[in-house]
Chains A and B, each alone.
Chain A
């Protein structure tokens, strides 16, 4: 019964993966609705089972975040499967396996488990990317596969070196050995590949270009999936890694901080010329990863609480913008931002929701994004002098990010003759969008509860 107590949510999800696969053999009619219902049911039951199993607060909150964001993704899938409704069982099976691997990654306290989780997460993401089955999507999927494989190779290289030094793959054991040992060249050779391999999942600098092509090739639902679920898992894992292994050396903290800074600057500059909405979203997600990494690299209890708060707010604002694009570009084949011209005159409240979410991503009040940035920056500026200088540069590069988001807002107010209208049937997705928007604003007005929650979580790690 011990294993049930620890792994009940994962076991429930696994059962539903098999249920999805088995049912796909027998059911032809209404397959999308049944699969969707099954998946939502799976997520709710695992959410309930999370409460009744003994979890660390840290694991609990990250897993809840994964489940909430997967719910958000599910509610906008009804556009996706329109052309491929009969394959929806397959889609949701892969979808759930991604969630499981995220769970394992959050739990991972051992390099072997971590590697399995990273690979499983990678494979589900490759499949989801290729699900559209057109030229672009296949190309993106292959690109993702190859980059992911090379990143995994780096990761394994580092792990094997580390095993050579310490004779162990368990985080806590390695931590105990490393505390006694001074930092030497061999250890650096071991840790840098590990860092590179994990940063791939987060989408930070050494492997960065895949993320743009993959988002571009995938459809909107998968884009939302990719920007939330692997990211939450990766953040939890990287944080774990820093607390146990990398954080013991000042050098790695500084290196990571510089990687984060250069990621932010790279992405902010790269997005300036983009006109494809998916690519802009991809760059925006990279910028946010950079800020999260910068906070993680300070390795403090306080900064961990800010990371959790930032992620909670990020889920809703990011879901908001992807929802808008999903609803709006439903019948459209192009992803150009020129399609958004004059949206405000056609659908004012819809556009207001879009503007609120974009402003939140840019970090302006009255949205949760403002508070998240404030809280995150406060954590970074509390650290050493070098972080303060890095923070100044990171903040100045947000001017470019600002330009990107307001480039989209500008389009909404330009008069145009285009006659693209929103499909009237998407009430469900619209409601979710408005809920996201309201949450984004409400967190700004009364953030105390969530901040307390994240502080308690960070305290008990």
Chain B
């Protein structure tokens, strides 16, 4: 039963994707969309059932399933979920439900290929979150590139070809470092223990020399840092986010960034803990730089989607600060930040996408006074905007607050100073987020936007669901934080 659940969870999107691209289904837009919506909801229900089956207090990986893949080399298809991965899988499934529902009207051509690629992407992302094998992890990590490339290339706007290639090459460049580190771990483990294995659970890095561990740590950090993105490796992010179609922007920001974060959690923190302690202050410094730099960049942008993209990089800075504090509060905060940012950025991208679709522009200089034309959108965007700033009682506040508190009370060198510098970003974030709200909704109504229609019932429901989640997590953060405090054994760190 467990095996079946996890197999369905990972491979049903792939199978559905193949079904969509095959000539079995009719190519009519409505029918395809109906099937896709149905499947995404089915998958979401499946993850909910998995969560209900799940025992969050268990220390080990639950729901594991093993299959032979390349057994001669000790590389096997091991799947397993712990609390963080099951929550990230649920998040993935939820975000995909949202982006499939929001696709109507935003995607105008080649529906068959589009939905097929979307579910292929979903399978790859779920695969990343649920494997326990280095090489299988890497397989899923790379698998996500191809559908993403075609989605950016085909449905993007602006200089989409260049952007898609940039995204591809950057990410591939990063993943090579990951692959290299995995190969080294695989063989060094063989040389020290004499067993060919690439399972995360079986690999024993205890006997490795310190410099090797540090080298592995840096390689992995570069690899995941491209995806996260960490400051010097970030330049694919604003282009890709702003030129992708809205559903793809949502996935990029809400899920692909989380893949980098998950990699850092699972490998850099989980596997190479000692090196992480050694480099924690540097990572925190990178987090602060990321936060301040991305926030300042966001202020300077005119394009709504670019602002949101940079805000994503800034939030990942908060994640880095929280995780490098290495105490219970900080890590809980940073994990919470992942989920709250996913919800907030989804909401913001939907707002931006609707404005872009209905008004034909996403440039803030040309937008003005939409509040009269779009009262429902404005009403629903208020909580999302406030959550992005980090107002209490909304989910954005909890993640930021816990991360900063964790960093301030941390024993890492100079963490207090860095936290104080990082706090400046709270002011900057309110500047750029309110800029979107102010620029788009306030001001005099322009003639050219007289015909603009408000959001339809479909979009209203989607936004309302997101708002409910944001408020729910803001008022009852213990839903998630209780789970997180069981996952990592914090006493071992400090």
Contacts and interface: CB of A to CB of B under 8 A. Distances in A.
Interface of A: 348, 352, 355, 359, 364-366, 370-371, 374-375, 377-378, 381-382, 388, 391-392, 395-396, 398-399, 402-403, 406-407, 409-410, 413-414, 446-448, 451-452, 455
Nearest to B149: A406
B70 interface: yes
A451 B72 contact: yes
Contacts of A402: 168-169, 172
A407 B164 CA distance: 11
Given A370-B142, A378-B73, A448-B70, A410 B135 contact: no
Interface in B370-420: none
A406 B173 CA distance: 14
Nearest to B136: A365
B262 interface: no
Contacts of B184: 381, 388
B296 interface: no
Interface in B3-26: 21
Contacts of A348: 113
B154 A451 contact: no
B209 interface: no
B176 A410 contact: no
Contacts of A452: 72
B156 to A, nearest CB: 11
**9 interchain residue pairs of minimum CB distance:** A365-B139, A381-B183, A395-B176, A365-B143, A399-B173, A451-B72, A365-B142, A364-B142, A413-B154
A370 B183 contact: no
Interface of A, secondary structure class, is helix
11 contacts: A365-B142, A370-B139, A375-B73, A377-B179, A378-B73, A378-B183, A381-B184, A382-B187, A395-B176, A448-B68, A451-B72
Interface in B117-153: 135, 139-140, 142-143, 145-146, 149-150, 153
A4 B143 CA distance: 50
Contacts of B139: 365-366, 370
A410 B160 CA distance: 11
Nearest to B150: A413
A448 B71 contact: yes
B180 interface: yes
Interface of B, secondary structure class, is helix
B179 A395 contact: yes
Contacts of B179: 374, 377, 395
A448 B184 CA distance: 22
B168 A378 contact: no
A399 B176 contact: yes
Contacts of B143: 364-366
Contact of A374 (B21, B135, B165): B135
Nearest to B124: A365
B168 A455 contact: no
B161 interface: yes
Contact of A396 (B70, B161, B173): B173
A396 B176 contact: yes
A177 to B, nearest CB: 34
Given A364-B142, A399-B172, A410-B165, A451 B70 contact: yes
A381 B173 contact: no
B176 A398 contact: yes
Given A381-B183, A403-B169, A359 B146 contact: yes
A277 B149 CA distance: 21
B114 interface: no
Contact of B146 (A364, A395, A413): A364
A364 B176 contact: no
Nearest to B168: A406
A402 B140 CA distance: 18
A396 B186 CA distance: 20
B128 to A, nearest CB: 12
Q: Taking each of B154, B161, B179, B183, which has the highest tally of chain A beta carbons within 10 Å of its own beta carbon?
A: B183
